[in-house]
Structure 1
Amino acid sequence: MKFNNKKVILFDLDGTLINSGPDLALAVNHMLQTLNRETFSEEIIDGWVGNGAQMLVQRALSGQREIDENLDADLCSDALDIFLAFYAKNLCVATVPYSNVPATLTCLKEMDYRLAIVTNKPFAFVEPILESLTLSGLFELILGGDSLDKKKPDPLPLLHACEKMNVSVEECVMVGDSKNDILAANTAGMQSVGVTYGYNYGEDIGVHNPTVIIDDFSELLELL
């Protein structure tokens, strides 16, 4: 299929544009080691990514995706501080764009599409990562997980992006790797593209009914 009359493309960041798993795992395990707790493999930590830093830290402290309801609030606060401080200094040690991302984004920009990032990652980390990966300047709007009162899978960030960029929901498409992206788009009434790589908790992205599914980021050019 081809999308019609699209003006704005909204992108998730982690798992969609960039593979940040190694650096997130490094920061999570540093936090756990600092607190004398068990560390985990990158593969396991990848399954906890996608709902923002606070949720990632709480999952790590719980040792599983389901958060332990008995976690101490002070412990969670201290752990989050440790994680954020370390990650801020190690944003792009091993983080790289996924295959064909830089070239495809450049092509879309040249085709006069307006690009934006809607991520659950803390806002302060996004621009430094983009700069390190020479992706800075491509995006008209960046929304982080702490930019608004709610984050994906709530539709608020997507609707806010439409409002800020003065376009209708129908003129936008959301591109993401996880159910958070697709659920937010579906609730907002926005068409979406699900990518089959990234961090979708081991689930098939198709379960959540994106408009289109792609295996490689460059396939976006065939849809627009």
Structure 2
Amino acid sequence: MPAKLTTPRLRTQIRTLTLDLDGTLLNTLPDLAAAANDMLRELGLPEYPDATIASFVGHGIAHLVARCLPEANLTEHAEALRIFRHHYTHENGRRTVLYPGVLEGLHAWQATGVPMAVITNKAAAFSEPLLVATGISSFFDFVLSGDSLPEKKPHPLPLLHACQQFGVAPGENLHIGDSRHDAAAARSAGCPVWLVSYGYSTDAPVQSVDCDAIVATLAEAAQRMING
């Protein structure tokens, strides 16, 4: 008689999972840096090292471009944003890689039957193709991008909207991200929040951020939730 298949059990209060994209699921910095420096070269301006551009990431593309061009006026910024989008369309996904433990973690969460979604400040024109290009789009029920709603993280609206779409109370949705913006959005929405120890949290170390746990990988996060 074949062995009975079992489904891993989750902590009872968690029914859904939302995940940040850049810095949590995917290391997108090489593509963002390449596009930013392509933009700067086209504008005849000095380039930035990847580590500097990493400190500009996390608030969406408009913020990244503004940080690259702190002296630009509105007209110049709009033109720079157009140039960046052109280059990033070409670069998006070319060098991006999954962080260690992401695929294992997603498979472990999927095995529990818990629904998952992505909440990112990246524009939908880039976030959705990127999930397809990296082969992980099928794990998620939906994606909320930076231009999906009137507000984006650290505002709680994306998390509240996700909970409504899932049909769960905020306290039943675990959010996992890499920065204080993820933590602030989750706290304001009333969701428990875990942070990964890697990623782009350059303005505040995750150890100093108000969160419920810090994990080294998404695989560790899944095991901690399954095993209690």
Q: TM-score, normalised by structure 2?
A: 0.91
Which residue matches 1:193?
194
Question: 2: distance between equivalents of 1:131 and 1:188?
Answer: 28
Structure 1 residue runs of 5 or longer lacking an equivalent are: 63-67
Which residue matches 2:4?
none
Report Cα offsets for 1:50-75 as digits up to 9, x if no partner: 0000000000112xxxxx5xx31011
- From 23, 41, 45, the equivalent of 2:31 is 23
Question: 1: distance between equivalents of 2:119 and 2:200?
Answer: 16
Which residue matches 1:34?
42
Question: 2: distance between equivalents of 1:92 and 1:141?
Answer: 19
Question: 2: distance between equivalents of 1:105 and 1:217?
Answer: 7
Matched position secondary structure for 1:170: helix
Question: 2: distance between equivalents of 1:196 and 1:100?
Answer: 12
2:183–2:211: 8 Å Cα contact kept in structure 1? yes
Question: 1: distance between equivalents of 2:166 and 2:125?
Answer: 21
Q: TM-score, normalised by structure 1?
A: 0.93
Structure 2 residue runs of 5 or longer lacking an equivalent are: 1-9
Q: CA RMSD in A?
A: 1.2
Matched position secondary structure for 1:201: coil
2:108–2:219: 8 Å Cα contact kept in structure 1? no
Question: 1: distance between equivalents of 2:196 and 2:104?
Answer: 17
Larger Rg: 2
Question: How far does residue 222 in structure 1 lie from its aligned partner after superposition?
Answer: 2.4
Question: 2: distance between equivalents of 1:37 and 1:179?
Answer: 31
Question: 1: distance between equivalents of 2:163 and 2:210?
Answer: 21
Matched position secondary structure for 1:137: helix
2:106–2:218: 8 Å Cα contact kept in structure 1? no
How many residues are treated as equivalent by the alignment?
A: 216
Which residue matches 1:107?
108
Matching of residue 160 in structure 1 with residue 168 in structure 2:
no
Report Cα offsets for 1:174-201 as digits up to 9, x if no partner: 1000111001011111100011100012
Report Cα offsets for 1:68-87 as digits up to 9, x if no partner: 5xx31011101111111111
Matching of residue 14 in structure 1 with residue 15 in structure 2:
no
Q: Which amino acid aligns with 1:176?
A: G
Which residue matches 1:54?
62
**Share of identical aligned residues, percent?**
36
Moved over 6 A (4+): none
